[in-house]
Structure 1
Amino acid sequence: MITFTEDGIRARRLPFIVATFFGTGLSPLAPGTAGSISALPLAWVLLQMPLLTAGMGVAFLFALGLWSANHLEQVSGQHDAQIIVIDEVVGVCVSTLILGWWLRAAVDPYLLLLLAFVSFRLFDIVKPWPVGWLDRAIGGGLGVMIDDIAAAIMGALCVLGFCYVALVASI
Structure 2
Amino acid sequence: MTPVPKSIWRNPIHFLAFGLGSGAAPFAPGTFGTLAAIPFYWMLSFLSLPTYLLVVLVAMIVGIYLCGRTSRDLGVHDHSGIVWDEFVGYWLTMAAVPFSWQAALWGFAIFRVFDVIKPWPIRTVDRRVAGGFGIMFDDVLAGVYAWSTMHLWFWLH
Question: Structures share a fold, TM > 0.5?
Answer: yes
How far has the Cα of 1:5 moved from its partner? Answer: 6.1
- For 2:70, the equivalent position in structure 1 comes to 72
Identity, in percent, stands at 29
Aligned amino acid, residue 89 of structure 2: G
1:116 aligns with 2:107: yes
- For 1:41, the equivalent position in structure 2 comes to 39
Match of residue 135, structure 1, among 126, 129, 133: 126
Q: CA RMSD in A?
A: 1.9
Paired with 1:27 and 1:136, the residues of 2 have a C-alpha distance of 24
Match of residue 148, structure 2, among 149, 157, 163: 157
Paired with 2:102 and 2:6, the residues of 1 have a C-alpha distance of 42
- For 2:51, the equivalent position in structure 1 comes to 53
Aligned amino acid, residue 138 of structure 2: D
Paired with 1:59 and 1:159, the residues of 2 have a C-alpha distance of 20
Runs of 4+ aligned structure 1 residues displaced above 3 Å come to 2-6
How far has the Cα of 1:19 moved from its partner? Answer: 0.4
How far has the Cα of 1:32 moved from its partner? Answer: 0.3
- For 1:85, the equivalent position in structure 2 comes to 83
Paired with 1:122 and 1:3, the residues of 2 have a C-alpha distance of 24
Q: Deviations 1:54-100 (Å, cap 9, x if unpaired)?
A: 111111211221111111111122111111000001111110114x1
How far has the Cα of 1:42 moved from its partner? Answer: 0.5
Distance 1:56 1:163, change over 3 A: closer
Aligned amino acid, residue 115 of structure 2: D
Paired with 1:21 and 1:162, the residues of 2 have a C-alpha distance of 29
How far has the Cα of 1:162 moved from its partner? Answer: 3.2
- For 1:146, the equivalent position in structure 2 comes to 137
Task: Name the TM-score, length of structure 2 as normaliser.
Answer: 0.90
- For 1:31, the equivalent position in structure 2 comes to 29
Give unpaired runs (5+ residues) of structure 2.
none
How far has the Cα of 1:48 moved from its partner? Answer: 1.1
Larger Rg: 1
Count of aligned pairs between the two proteins: 156
How far has the Cα of 1:111 moved from its partner? Answer: 2.0
Q: Is the Cα contact below 8 Å between 1:25 and 1:82 reproduced in 2?
A: yes
Match of residue 17, structure 1, among 7, 15, 18: 15
Aligned amino acid, residue 114 of structure 2: F
How far has the Cα of 1:9 moved from its partner? Answer: 6.3
Give unpaired runs (5+ residues) of structure 1.
none
